[in-house]
Each structure stands twice: as structure tokens, then as C-alpha cells.
Amino acid sequence: MSLTFEFQPNAAPLATGERDALLADPGFGRVFTDHMAVVRYTEGQGWHSARIQAREPIATDPASSVLHYAQEIFEGLKAYRQPDGGVALFRPDANARRLRQSAKRMAMPELPEEVFIDSVRALVRTDRDWVPSIPNGALYLRPFVFASEVFLGVKPSSEYIYAVIASAVGSYWKGGVKAISLWASQSYTRAAPGGTGAAKCGGNYAASLIALAEAGRQGCEQVVFLDAVERRWVEELGGMNIFFVFADGTLRTPPLGGTILAGITRDSLIRLARDQGLTVEEAPYGIDQWQEDAKSGRLVEAFACGTAAVVTPIGRVKGEGFDVTIGTGGTGQLTESLRRQLTDIQFGRAPDPHGWMMRV
């Protein structure tokens, strides 16, 4: 199914000079483009009223169901400036599929993948001058769907708004990428079996914030969540998947058991590692084993990964009664090599053997 996006240009786009000043050092998630994509859903009618329009506030009734019951899902992907000046998206088809899976879990209508791709491409084409050219800069796209029916009964909404906004970004981390420290929370979990851990819904992030604050009090940059049943098995961070690299050259990442997000960066790194003959196990890893392996030197590197964070080294993990350094505490060799391989494909500096890039 496809829709035609009506184009209603922003009558007052930001002046070129002001835009270029913002693009020189955008940080993460604060610099937004001139336009957004919007599509509406009404039960009985389906998806309709697709348009690219000026980025502006969306009027919501105070009884809109999203404000009360949090029926909301989102995605995150990036558009990258290519060496010839063009722009390309990384695996937008995978984000389109994941949005549908999140919708299923949250009892929401599934947006057709073609509409997702068309909306993202149309927005990036319209705001292509906002794609940064600074090293490691990109246009971060945030597609999202929320329940907009005006009704206070608890049931799936009969109306939804799908929108895509775009934000020019540099590094997710203030001051650029350096090894981060993690707090392994025993007090809080992110997702339980049968819950919404595998869906990209706002509620998962709301629930993670108190643990992130706890990590901050413990002097750590991020929280690493353990499973909700045994409080033992490493799951993921609040917004990133996690990998471990061992002295024998093998990698391990927690399996997709329904409580963690199926990261597209995770999947891409598994493929890149296997392409070069490395063994990647998708297997549980205990926090007890992690401490032992870090101390014995069997564990040599660890890294977090995601669209926003790309590949971020993990230098240290702390929890109740322990605080251990991983490897040198800095960026490991394989971590750096995988980050480089992935970003070389994304920025068009290396061939794209898996057909991951899509020109807009």
C-alpha cells in the first residue's frame, strides 16, 4: 500500500547562515529541521492524509489516550552524507519492520512498510540541506506513532497520528566518544518476560530513567539492566545493545528473548564480525561471570551499540560490591575496528556488500 504525500512547504524556513551555524556543532537531539511528515489513521478508513509540512506543534486534546495510557511507539534511524554529496539511509526497511512489530505488541495498527520508507525519504529529500557534513554527523530520523482518540476508557485507540521529525546530530556523547562506565542495577529492571521489552515503546524508556539516575549517583554514565527473573543475566542498556569480546577472539551478545530490543546495529555488527570469520554467540552472560572474566583477563573488550550511540566502548562496570575495569579501560581494538567498518559503509567510504544503504 502506498500514499501520496501532499507537500505543504514551510513558509519561513531557517535562513541558510543560521542553519549552517547549527550544523557546525549540533550535539544530539536538539537541532531540528524545517519540515516533518504526518500521516493519520482512523479506524474504518485506515492510513490517510499523508503530508510533508512545516515542523510545528501537534495540537492534542487533553483526553488523547496517549497522554493517559502511553500507547506510543517510535523508531530511530540515520541519513548519512555520501562522498559525492548525495544522501543515503541505513537499513530503513529494518526500521519499518520493527515499527510494525512494536505496533503489534502495543495493539496499534501497523503502518505499511512502503509508507514508512516513502515518508522518511520524502522528509530527507525536502530537508537534505540539513544533513551535516561534519565528521560522524548525520540526520537522525525519529518516526513515531501515538494514540490520539479523545476517550478515557482503557482500550486500543481508534485514531492515531504517525509523524517523522528529523534532527541534525553529531555524537550522542558530550565531548565525543570515549569509554563509558556502567552501573548494573539490582534495584530496577527494564523488562520482564511477556512484557514490552522487545517493543520500541515510550514506556520502556520512562521506566528506565530512575535507573539511569541511580547510575549517575554511582558515578556511572549508563545503566546496564539485568533480567527481571534472576537479576543475573545481562540484557542491554537503556538505549543500546551490548557486546563482549574475549581473549580467544570470540564475541558474545545477549540473545533476543523478548525482553530486549532487536537492535539493527546489533544485527549489522553480528554480520560484519561473522563476515570476517569471527565467532559471535548470541548467548546469556551473567553479571557474576562478567566480573570474573574481567578480573582474569578472559574478557578483553565490551561495547554498547545503537543508532544514536553507534559503537561505544565500555571501560568499567560497577554494581553492589564490585567495580571492575574491562581490558585497558579504554577503546578495544576490535571495538574500534567494527565501529570503523560499520561507519565506512554508512558514510559510503567502503563497499556495501549487504545492500544496506538506500539513496534518498
Q: Which residues bind ligand PLP (CB under 6 A)?
A: 76, 236, 239-241, 261, 263-266, 306-307
Based on CB atoms, which residue is closest to ligand COI, 223 or 300? Answer: 223
In degrees, rounded to 5, the angle at the alpha carbon of residue 213 between the alpha carbons of residues 211 and 219 is: 105
The answer to whether 76 contacts ligand COI (rule: CB under 6 A) is yes
CB 326 → ligand PLP: shortest distance, Å? 20
Q: CA 57 to CA 94: how far, in whole Å?
A: 28
Contact 311, 43 (CB under 8 A): no
Under rule CB under 6 A, residue 13 binds ligand COI: no
- Closer by beta carbon to ligand PLP, 22 or else 177: 177
239 belongs to the binding site for ligand COI (CB under 6 A): yes
Q: Does residue 38 bind ligand COI (CB under 6 A)?
A: no
CB of 150 to ligand PLP, least distance (A): 30
CB contact set of 246 (below 8 Å; sequence gap of 6+): 252, 293, 298, 299, 300
Q: What is the dihedral of CA 313, 336, 297, 212, to 10 degrees?
A: 10
Nearer to ligand PLP, 50 or 145 (CB): 145
Residue 236 contact among ligand COI, ligand PLP, none, beta carbon within 5 to 8 Å by kind: ligand PLP
Question: In the structure grid, which three cell numbers stand for residue 259, read together?
Answer: 525482553
Between 52 and 310, whose beta carbon lies closer to ligand COI? 310
Q: Are 348 and 357 in contact (CB under 8 A)?
A: yes
Residue 306 in the binding site for ligand COI (CB under 6 A): yes
User: What is the rounded CA–CA span in Å between residue 303 and residue 322?
Assistant: 19
Which residue in the shown chain puts its C-beta closest to ligand COI? Answer: 76
User: Helices in 24-151 by DSSP H: which ranges?
Assistant: 66-69, 92-105, 113-126
Residues found near ligand COI in the complex (CB under 6 A)? 76, 239, 306-308
